[in-house]
């Protein structure tokens, strides 16, 4: 790899490109390399190509990562930038994921064109759009009277659907809106106490080839330790539950002094049952905390919990 060719693989959505640019800018600042040393390579992925079906019907979390990881393994790019909430818990042989940028706001946001309305203010039987099984289950657990419809597309597409009356409200991630500077979007952050976010929501991960020592040294310069500790707990929780896009799972790890607080939640897809836990332990034992929480939940709910 020459100084003028550090190739950054990414999806082509506005948010994915913003994340790739943030990664590039942090690497520039940390290494002193000029802009010309980096090339952003857009790779089309299945999750972006298929827009007419729910994600749960066309695969799991790999929908947004498979083609990028294939390009990384083939040597077509040198690093891959991912939204960590899209990442499977296991990496392909030969790849490593051990660099995380400082985490953005992990909360969900409630979005409606009625700027005075919150979730509790929606009329009985109102329609809410979301493509997330986790948000769908959480919504139905709190408001079983609501109708939930499939809602995919970028922020502008979703706002257009609201204006057309396809739904009266939807959800977005605060992190994405913050990174894109979308201050005009009529969104209200939802406290984690009211709706736990997706595992690793708001975090950016940078993947590399395991045997690429030079890239490893560069990425160490921009790795955020606190984000790494939080994700270790959350992703261990997800792994312990065999989590994918087809299972309603939520979780959030937060650092409180020298302790780590982990909150986790699993739901039946129709929202008819919710199991949650909240525990605190030593900061460095995040992975153990998340794994134990998952094990306890699996034992409590039994093997058929996620079947409607």
The residue count for the chain: 308
> 145 catalytic, yes or no?
no
Residues 268 and 270: their CA atoms lie apart, in Å, by 5
Nearest residue to 19 via CA among 110, 102, 94: 102
Of the residues 25, 78, 86, 105, which is catalytic? 86
Residues 6 and 286: their CA atoms lie apart, in Å, by 33
DSSP code, position 62: G
The two structure tokens encoding residue 305: 């919990």
Q: In what order do the strands lie in the sheet with 187-189?
A: 147-149, 127-129, 169-173, 108-111, 187-189
Give CA 292 to chain center in angstroms: 22
For residue 28, the cross-strand partners are: none
Active-site positions read: 86
């Amino acid at each position: 790899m020459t100084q003028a060719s550090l190739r950054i693989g990414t999806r082509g959505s506005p948010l994915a490109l913003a994340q790739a640019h943030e990664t590039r800018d942090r690497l520039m600042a940390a290494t002193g390399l000029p802009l010309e040393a980096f090339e952003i390579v857009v790779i089309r992925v299945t999750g972006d190509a298929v827009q007419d079906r729910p994600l749960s019907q066309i695969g799991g979390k790999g929908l947004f990562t498979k083609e990028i990881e294939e390009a990384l393994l083939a040597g077509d790019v040198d690093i891959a930038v991912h939204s960590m909430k899209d990442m499977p818990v296991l990496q392909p042989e030969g790849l490593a994921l051990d660099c995380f940028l400082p985490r953005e706001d992990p909360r969900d946001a409630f979005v409606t064109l009625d700027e005075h309305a919150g979730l509790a203010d929606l009329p009985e039987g109102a329609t809410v759009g979301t493509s997330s099984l986790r948000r769908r289950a959480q919504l139905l657990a709190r408001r079983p009277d609501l109708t939930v419809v499939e809602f995919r597309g970028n922020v502008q597409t979703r706002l257009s659907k609201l204006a057309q009356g396809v739904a009266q409200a939807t959800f977005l991630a605060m992190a994405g809106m913050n990174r894109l500077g979308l201050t005009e979007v009529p969104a209200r952050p939802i406290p984690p106490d009211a709706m736990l976010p997706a595992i690793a929501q708001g975090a950016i991960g940078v993947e590399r080839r395991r045997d690429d020592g030079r890239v490893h040294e560069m990425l160490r310069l921009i790795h955020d330790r606190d984000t790494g500790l939080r994700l270790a707990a959350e992703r261990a929780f997800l792994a312990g539950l065999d989590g994918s896009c087809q299972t309603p799972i939520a979780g959030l790890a937060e650092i409180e002094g020298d302790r780590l607080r982990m909150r986790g939640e699993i739901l039946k897809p129709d929202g008819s049952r919710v199991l949650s836990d909240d525990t605190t332990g030593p900061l460095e034992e995040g992975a153990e905390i998340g794994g134990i929480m998952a094990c306890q939940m699996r034992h409590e709910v039994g093997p058929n919990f996620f079947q409607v």
